[in-house]
Amino acid sequence: MLRRDSSRGFTLMELVVTLALLGLLAMLAAPMAEVAVQRSREQALREALREIRIAIDRYKAAADRGAIERSLGDTGYPPSLQALVDGVPNQKSPNKEMQYFLRRVPRDPFAPVSGQAAAQSWQLRSYVSPPDAPAPGADVYDVFTSASGNGLNGVPYREW
């Protein structure tokens, strides 16, 4: 005679409990994944801002040394972010070799992905604009993101 073993397989209750535990674990893991994504975007923002700001400072230092041609009333800051990539002739060099300050303009990681160039993804501040009301102008003194909201550190992204 064949005997059926009733202990094979899972009961309905065991399956329900297992699914409930998996759902609970997924609910706990989802916010942690969101924070990890936000943290990586913030790190990319920090690195991009640092790279652009260092290039702007190097351009200004070269202008102050006389390596970049300046006109009367010129602040010595680059006229655009693209000028950092395109380069300018070195006025102190006998052959007027080009000097470059950036390989490429990094894209703002918080800007919406669209067909615009990376240089247009940033908000610009000119030398003559006040820090509490930054506005673009004839030169690029600083850059900042257009993202609203605060970072994980509590500081608004626009103030980074």
72-107 tens-digit pLDDT = 888 899 999 999 999 999 988 889 899 999 999 999
pLDDT of the residue at 152: 85
pLDDT of the residue at 146: 86
Mean per-residue pLDDT, 10-18: 87
Q: What are phi and psi of 145, to 5 degrees?
A: -85, 155
pLDDT digits (tens, 9 = 90+) for 27-62: 887 878 888 888 999 999 999 999 999 999 999 999
Confidence band of 160 (pLDDT split at 50, 70, 90): confident
Q: What are phi and psi of 71, to 5 degrees?
A: -100, 170
3-state secondary structure of 89: strand
| Alpha-carbon separation of residue 66 from 60, 63, 78, 81, 97 (angstroms) | 10, 5, 14, 20, 14
| Alpha-carbon separation of residue 155 from 52, 75, 143, 145, 150 (angstroms) | 20, 30, 16, 13, 5
Residue 1 in this model has a pLDDT that exceeds 60: no
Residue 2 in this model has a pLDDT that exceeds 80: no
pLDDT of the residue at 111: 86
Q: Where are the domains of the chain?
A: 15-159
